Structure 1
Amino acid sequence: MNPFSDLRPKKVLFIATRQIGDVLVTTPLISKARELWPDAEFHFLGYRGKLDMLFGNPDISEIIETSDRPGVGEYLSLFNRLFQRYDLAFVTQPSDRAYFYGLIAAFRRVGVLGGHPQGKDVEDKSKRSKSEKQNAWKKFICMHTVDVDYFNQHVIAEKLRLLEVFFRNPPELFSQPISVTPPAGEALTPVITNTLVQPYAVVHPGPLTAYKRWPLAHWQYLITWLASKGFQVVLSASPAKQDVQLNHDILSLLNDETAAKVINAAGKLSIPQAGTLLRGAALYIGVDTSITHLAAACNTPTIALFGATPPTNFGPWPNGFIGEQPYQLRARSQTVSNVTILQGPGECVPCRKAGCLDRADSNSECLDLLEPTQVIAAIEKVIKPA
């Protein structure tokens, strides 16, 4: 029996100091922890502007925001706010800063350790040795740790395994349906609702980095097809300049008849409003980005276009899936529940690099060669166009 299976913490802190998608994938961990400790008080620490995925989450009673680059004054303020306030901290990212926050905040800690990639990305011995030295202090301060595995372990399984030490029978973690909790919805603005008609498809072309992009001409082809089949298309995007420009570039390629059936929602939706939009959509198509995970969490039929990222690590979780791994590492098309993941051709796929040049502004040939006809074929299997 695990030595901590009888632990009953009164106050628990979850730490996810990264992007909004990284926050969303902690929600199954939070839900499962709530089952274990129904009377505990749960707080969440993350970066300012990245926590909207927790809007209305019924399990979180307090959200603590910090800058991604805090100054000395903010560090001191956060130190005073966190110091030994919690019985237990979940460090869900392997960064030094996240572990530092966990060390300050709680009497006990569990955490994710980075630097141990498997599969195609096996490091040489010197790099592995350096990584193990860097992780030594993190292991020392934790009662339990989980290693990342970028090819074979799904990120949601990785987070859930942080609970292993608290279960008398750890396999029970994956014996019941596992779901992602999306944010509570907010009403759409009149500029959207006044022009929205059913059925509509949400298309989200803008990833955080260029190497996850699908070619403009492919989006043009796909949107034209959707419009011809009776769908209104909502072209969503964050307020970021690069995403707004990407939507503008796609719209500029459409003929007038198709463009008349497209709503450009770039920068017009909060994350909770995006959830509302997605819940009413007949279909979602997007690249490897946080909104794709949100679409899956909203139970919307989701088509996800994947290139370098292994779906076995970060594919959108199909709600209600039972088990640790919903996906295969490599399959041109695979569907689990409401999620279909499409990958382009190439023996190198998925490489987990930053595109073919291994840098943020690179293209990815596997996505360039993922034809829109493959996406259309997947759509036709999932839903019957009007």
Structure 2
Amino acid sequence: MSLFSNLQPKKVLFIATRQIGDVLVTTPLISKARALWPDAEFHFLGYRGKLEMLKGNPDIAQTIETSDRPGILEYLTLFFRLFQRYDLAFVTQPSDRAYAYGLVAARTRVGILGGHPQGLTEHDKLKKNKSDQQNLWKKAISLHTINVDYFHQHVIIEKLRLLDIFFQDTESLFSQPISVRPPIGEAITARIVNQLNPPYIVMHPGPLTAYKRWPLAYWQTLITWAVKQGWQVILSASPAKQDLDLNRDILSLLDLETSQQVVDTAGQLSLSQAGSLIRGAIAYVGVDTSITHLAAACNTPTIALFGPTPPTNFGPWPNGFIGKQPYQLRARTQTVGNVTILQGPGTCVPCRKAGCDDHVNSKSECLNQLEPTQVIEALKNATQL
């Protein structure tokens, strides 16, 4: 039996100081921890505006929000709020700040250690060596750590393995169905509901970064085809200007007849409302972004367009999957459960770089070569056309 398997914490803090998708993928960890400690009180610390993915989660008693760039006063306030209030902290991101919060908050910590995959350049190797040095203090303050594997270990499994030390049989973690818990559904505004004309398909074109974008003309082709099948198309997007502009650009390419069957909900829905909308759809198509993970968690047939990101690391989890790895590293089309992941051609796919030029505004040739016919075929299979 593991030395610490009998630990019975009364208060536990989960820390995920990144994007909303990173919050969502902690929910299997939370569920498994709840099974291990049914009477413990669970709190969650994350960035302000990023915790809506936990709305209605019955395992979380309290959420704590902080700025992504807090000032001295906010740091001090958070310090006194957290100081040694918890028996155990799960640090689910490898950042220095997340570990500092864990050190302040809890007497015992387990956490994720970052790094860089073995690169092809000396620059990559230098980054990895620097990361290894930065990890030394994190290991020193932690009871147990798990290393990131950006190509071969799924992020869901990465986080579940934080529980390894508390289980007599660690393989039991993966022998039961693993599911992502979406936020509780919330009523959609009447103005949008009145425009819905099922059957409809939800499409989410906007990623957080440009190198994950699919070409505008491809969205035009896909939407035109979907409307010809008798489906209404619902465009989804965040309130960010770049996403609003992207949806408007797509709409400008459509002919009048097609555009009359398209509803643009950009910036008008909360995450919980987006979940309700997606649950009612016959299918969802989206790029590599958090809403695509939400769609998969809602059990809607989900088509995910992947470019540089390894699906083996961050592919949307097919709910109820049993095992450690749902996906292959490279496959033009692969379907597991309700999720279909599509990748473009090329031996460099997936590279895990920020596009071909490795910066946020870069293009990704693999996405440029992922043609609409491939997506249409996946939609036919998902909807049994």
If the TM-score is normalised by the length of the shorter chain, which range does it land in? over 0.9
In structure 2, relative to structure 1, the CA distance for the partners of 1:50 and 1:333 (3 Å cut) is same
Give the Cα separation in 2 of the matches to 1:112 and 1:211. Answer: 26
Q: Secondary structure at the match of 2:77?
A: helix
What CA deviation, in whole Å up to 9, does each residue of 1:203-261 have, x standing for no partner?
A: 00000000000000000000000000011000000000000000000000000111000
Q: Note if contact 1:119-1:152 (Cα within 8 Å) is conserved in structure 2.
A: no
Q: Secondary structure at the match of 2:159?
A: helix
Aligned equivalent of 2:179: 179
In structure 2, relative to structure 1, the CA distance for the partners of 1:296 and 1:119 (3 Å cut) is farther
Aligned equivalent of 1:295: 295
Aligned equivalent of 2:190: 190
Whether 1:129 aligns to 2:129 is yes
Aligned equivalent of 2:90: 90
Could you state the TM-score of these two structures normalised by the residue count of structure 1?
0.98
Aligned equivalent of 2:236: 236
Give the Cα separation in 2 of the matches to 1:134 and 1:250. Answer: 44
Aligned equivalent of 2:369: 369
Q: Note if contact 2:28-2:181 (Cα within 8 Å) is conserved in structure 1.
A: yes
Q: Note if contact 2:118-2:124 (Cα within 8 Å) is conserved in structure 1.
A: no
Could you state the TM-score of these two structures normalised by the residue count of structure 2?
0.98
Aligned equivalent of 1:46: 46
Whether 1:35 aligns to 2:35 is yes
Give the Cα separation in 2 of the matches to 1:179 and 1:279. Answer: 16
Q: Note if contact 1:118-1:151 (Cα within 8 Å) is conserved in structure 2.
A: no
User: More deviation in 54-63 or 125-134?
Assistant: 125-134
Whether 1:329 aligns to 2:329 is yes
Counterpart residue identity of residue 242, structure 1: Q
Aligned equivalent of 2:161: 161
Give the Cα separation in 1 of the matches to 2:122 and 2:340. Answer: 28
Give the Cα separation in 1 of the matches to 2:63 and 2:104. Answer: 17
Whether 1:249 aligns to 2:249 is yes
Q: Secondary structure at the match of 1:90?
A: strand
Kindly report which structure 2 residues correspond to 1:1-386, keeping only aligned pairs within 5 A, or say none: 1-117=1-117, 126-385=126-385
Q: Note if contact 1:312-1:328 (Cα within 8 Å) is conserved in structure 2.
A: yes
Alpha carbon RMSD of aligned pairs, Å?
1.2
In structure 2, relative to structure 1, the CA distance for the partners of 1:123 and 1:319 (3 Å cut) is farther
In structure 2, relative to structure 1, the CA distance for the partners of 1:198 and 1:125 (3 Å cut) is closer
C-alpha deviation, 1:123, in angstroms: 7.5
Give the Cα separation in 2 of the matches to 1:99 and 1:255. Answer: 52
What CA deviation, in whole Å up to 9, does each residue of 1:58-108 have, x standing for no partner?
A: 100000000000000000000000000000000000000000000000000
Q: Secondary structure at the match of 2:195?
A: coil
Return 5+ residue gaps in structure 1 as ranges: none
Return 5+ residue gaps in structure 2 as ranges: none
Q: Note if contact 1:239-1:266 (Cα within 8 Å) is conserved in structure 2.
A: yes
Q: Note if contact 1:118-1:149 (Cα within 8 Å) is conserved in structure 2.
A: no
User: More deviation in 129-138 or 77-86?
Assistant: 129-138
Q: Secondary structure at the match of 1:59?
A: coil
Give the Cα separation in 2 of the matches to 1:118 and 1:333. Answer: 26
What CA deviation, in whole Å up to 9, does each residue of 1:142-166 have, x standing for no partner?
A: 0000000000000000000000000
Q: Note if contact 2:203-2:236 (Cα within 8 Å) is conserved in structure 1.
A: yes
Aligned length: 385
Q: Note if contact 2:41-2:61 (Cα within 8 Å) is conserved in structure 1.
A: yes
